Amino acid sequence: MKPLHAQVDWESGVLSQGVKRVRRVSDMIGLYHDEAAEQQAVAEGDPIVYEYTTIELPEEANHVLFGTTTIFPGRVGSEYYMTKGHYHERRDTGEVYVCFSGQGRLVMETEAGQTEVLAMFPGSVAYVPPHWAHRVSNVGDDPLLFFAAFPGHAGHDYGTIAQVGFRLRVEEHGGEVLIVDNT
Ligand code: M6P
Ligand code: ZN
């Protein structure tokens, strides 16, 4: 294939030439801790939690997939708006995150039970090594925009997270960001 060129819209975070996907609270049922708050949010207009745009490329090991994500500010109960989060189907693949704007937390864990939380802020770069599940929460009052890149054959495994959940939750309590242990 030929090289390609795209552009990030700094306002919306949308990547030109990409395919945009929208995730609402109803797309994430069971992922937030507070089920009643989830149902209430869906009943009260089912807000958009995040959007992500990826440029469609071959899902092969020698390619690098990339895209941008915008997580809107908000909470379901005490829990900040977040991405679904996933392991890679191919566990031996990593990912790079570059934050453009906003304030977030990158929550990671391994199947062996290790956990890690890194702050995301404008200019922060985070590396998710192979074997770590990853999810991002927006802990600020503005949209959180970031760029991600990962090997083409990585694949997304949402099932493991849907079944067992993340060990850590990112919540607001008394105006503070709190990392709560689910286990
Ligand atoms: C980032 C990348 C993508 C991911 C997207 C949304 O852009 O990690 O691979 O699809 O965020 O996150 P999720 O797939 O967990 O909903
Ligand atoms: Zn990933």
103 CB under 6 A from ligand 1?
A: no
- Report pTM: 0.97
How far apart are the CA of 154 and the centre of ligand 1, in A? 12
* Tens of pLDDT, residues 76-94: 999 999 999 999 999 999 9
Q: Which long-range contacts (CB under 8 A, 24 or more apart) does 35-39 make?
A: 36/77, 37/76, 37/77, 37/79, 38/76, 38/77
Closest ligand to C-alpha of residue 148 is 1
Residue 24, class by beta-carbon neighbours within 10 Å (0-12 exposed, 13-18 middle, 19+ buried)?
middle
Residue 165, class by beta-carbon neighbours within 10 Å (0-12 exposed, 13-18 middle, 19+ buried)?
middle
- Which residue's C-alpha comes closest to atom 11 of ligand 1? 69
- Which residue's C-alpha comes closest to atom 2 of ligand 1? 148
67 CB under 6 A from ligand 1?
A: yes
CB atoms closer than 10 angstroms to residue 113: 8
Please report the pLDDT score of residue 158 as a whole number: 97
Closest ligand to C-alpha of residue 51 is 1
Nearest-angstrom CA–CA distance, 120 and 97: 9
Residue 67 has pLDDT above 90, yes or no: yes
Geometric angle at alpha carbon 84, from 108 and 157, rounded to 5°: 75
Please report the pLDDT score of residue 26 as a whole number: 98
Q: What is the three-state SS of 35-82?
A: HHHHHHHHHCCCCEEEEEEECCCCCCCCCEEEEEEEECCCEECCEECE
Closest ligand to C-alpha of residue 86 is 1
* Tens of pLDDT, residues 104-119: 999 999 999 999 999 9
Q: Which domains, ranges and CATH numbers included, belong to the chain?
A: 19-181 (2.60.120.10)
DSSP state of 14: P
Nearest-angstrom CA–CA distance, 162 and 115: 17
CB atoms closer than 10 angstroms to residue 9: 13
How far apart are the CA of 65 and the centre of ligand 1, in A? 11
Residue 164 has pLDDT above 90, yes or no: no
Whose CA is closest to 153, among 73, 47, 30, 60? 60
